[in-house]
Amino acid sequence: MKGKILVIEDNEQNLYLVRFILEQNGYEVFAALDGQSGIEMAASLKPDLILLDIQLPLMDGYAVARNLRQDPALADTPIVAVTSYAMTGDREKTIEAGCDGYIEKPIDPDTFMAQVEQHFIIRDQRSGGQ
Q: According to the model, what pLDDT value does residue 72 have?
A: 96
The count of domains in the chain is: 1
Per-residue pLDDT at 50 exceeds 80: yes
Confidence of residue 129 (pLDDT cuts 50, 70, 90): low
- Is residue 72 within 8 Å of residue 66, measured between CB atoms? no
The lowest-confidence range among 17-21, 47-51, 68-72, 117-121 is: 117-121
Confidence of residue 119 (pLDDT cuts 50, 70, 90): confident
Q: According to the model, what pLDDT value does residue 125 have?
A: 77
- Is residue 53 within 8 Å of residue 9, measured between CB atoms? yes
Instruction: Supply the range of the domain harboring residue 18.
Output: 3-126
The CATH number that applies at residue 65 is: 3.40.50.2300
Question: pTM of the entire structure?
Answer: 0.94
Dihedral over Cα of 23, 27, 28, 32: its sign: negative
Four-point Cα dihedral 54, 91, 87, 106, nearest 10 = -60
Separation of alpha carbons 84 and 107, rounded Å: 9
Per-residue pLDDT at 1 exceeds 90: no
Separation of alpha carbons 3 and 71, rounded Å: 20
Peptide bond into 78 cis (omega under 30): no
Per-residue pLDDT at 64 exceeds 70: yes
pLDDT single digits (tens) 83-105:
987 777 888 999 999 999 999 99
Separation of alpha carbons 121 and 19, rounded Å: 20
Separation of alpha carbons 105 and 18, rounded Å: 11
pLDDT single digits (tens) 25-40:
999 999 999 999 999 9
Separation of alpha carbons 40 and 19, rounded Å: 19
